A = this chain, B = another copy of it.
Amino acid sequence: MKLPVSTEWLLHCAASLAQLEAGATASAAQLAQYFDLPAAYLAKQLQALVKAGALAATTGPRGGFRLARPASEITLLQIVEAVDGTSSPYECREIRQQGRGALSAEECQNPCILAEKMAEAHEAWRNSLATTSLAEIIAALPPSAPSRTRLRLTGTP
């Protein structure tokens, strides 16, 4: 099971946008140059984060992307699920209802215990990512990081 390579891109882009001054934006092209990433594909992924409510996009000559909410209210889970979707990695196709050992529909009114345990593990993963916000990520960076990020990303410290 693999997350898309772009998961790393969008986590870093969101963490970079979290270091801008209030109201400031960075364009997809600026973010692509900052990390040396393919601009068109990155722009598409940034729109997915807009759709998910993590980023806001502004148009016009000074348009670009910024956080849609305070960094303390945007979690790693929201970003990862905006990129990869929300479905569980485990797929239960109800093989307990097929073949020589098939259980009847009546016997399968409760979910399969194996599917339940796999769902619990997915919830543990989700909960772990839901407890970390972008604000916590920024707080873990060296104090000099935000002004450096702003200067290299937007040209304004």
Interface residues, chain A, with chain B CB atoms under 8 Å away: 1-3, 5, 7-9, 11-12, 15-16, 32-37, 76, 80, 84, 89-93, 95-96, 98-102, 113-115, 117-118, 120-125, 127-129, 132, 137, 140-141, 149, 152-153
Contacts and interface: CB of A to CB of B under 8 A. Distances in A.
Given A1-B1, A1-B89, A124-B127, A101 B8 contact: no
Nearest to A13: B95
A125 B114 contact: no
A114 B8 CA distance: 8
This chain's copy number in the assembly: 2
A100 B32 CA distance: 9
A99 B149 contact: no
A102 to B, nearest CB: 8
